[in-house]
Structure 1
Amino acid sequence: LEADIAHLNALLLNGSLDGSHETEDLTEILARLDSADGVAKGIEGRLDGILGTLDNILSSLE
């Protein structure tokens, strides 16, 4: 994930986006953002599961 963020930063700071490779750069940025969104959703799902388990444990202790 950190490598993707660094690559996105490099594209944004050093990318051509001047018309010569604009479409390719933009396509790559969007693909990487989509991938990062998928990773974030997966992590969110796992955290929800962990919180649910902790909730159940706390409820059983009461």
Structure 2
Amino acid sequence: MGGNAWEWLADRQGDTALTAGGSWWYGAHQMRAESMQWKPADFSVVYVGFRCIYAALPRG
């Protein structure tokens, strides 16, 4: 999934939000999980999104 899209993180500073993961749009040098970038919190483009996750609870 790396390099497909920046993903929104929970970190906020005023009207900006942190994104991570890089995107094909920015080139190979930023398509890495450790790439971080602040963007306006209302920023809307095809290369920034979010991933749904589910934390399974242990059985028993």
Q: TM-score, structure 1 length as denominator?
A: 0.29
Greater helix fraction, Structure 1 or Structure 2: 1
Greater strand fraction, Structure 1 or Structure 2: 2
Greater Rg over alpha carbons, structure? 1
Higher relative contact order structure (alpha carbons within 8 Å, sequence separation ≥ 6): 2
